[in-house]
Every structure is written in C-alpha cells, then in structure tokens.
Amino acid sequence: EALTAYTDLRNRWPEHADMPLSLFGIAESNRLLGNHVEAAITFRNFADEHWRLPQASQASLKAGDAFLAAGRLGDAEQEYRRVLKDYL
C-alpha cells in the first residue's frame, strides 16, 4: 500500500516538494517487500539525484545493503565505498 501511495505521489505531482522523499519511500517499500535489486537501484538513484539531502548517505548505505541481500557483491562494494568516500 505504501509503495502505491509513493508511486502515485510521484506520478500525479512530480514537482511537489516531497517528491524526493517519495523516491526514498519507494526504495524502502521495495526493500521491505524483498525486491532487493529494485530497492538498491532506487536508493542509488535517490543518492545520485538528491545528494544534497540529508537522506543521501542513508540511501547509499541502504543501496549497498540491498545489493548485498540480492547477492550482487560488486555493486554492494561500490555503494559502500561511495559512503566512505562521499559521506565520511
């Protein structure tokens, strides 16, 4: 249900001030549903597009965790290195 609501927000009001956080919500919803690759890609896109928001570092870390859960170790390593390089 949350995934539908976040997606609906992005589709109906793409210029809304909360649109960036809806992308984070979509990623988190996918993670909770076990859609790890989709979650990881969406978290990574959030960090790329909204790098100035305080949630960007958390998105990069969660992207790494989701890639790890999906067994995509190279992608997970890339995200973890990004966290170390860009946010610490």
Q: Summarize pLDDT for 61-84 with one digit per residue, the tens.
A: 999 999 999 999 999 999 999 999
Look-up: residue for tokens 């790494």?
Answer: 64
Phi-psi region of 13 (alpha: psi -120 to 50; beta: other; left: phi over 0): beta
What letter would DSSP give residue 35? Answer: -
Residue 35 pLDDT level (bands cut at 50, 70, 90): very high
Q: What is the rounded CA–CA span in Å between residue 13 and residue 32?
A: 24
Three-class SS of residue 34? coil
pTM higher than 0.95: no
Other C-beta atoms closer than 10 Å to the C-beta of 47 total 26
Q: Percentage of the chain with pLDDT > 70?
A: 100
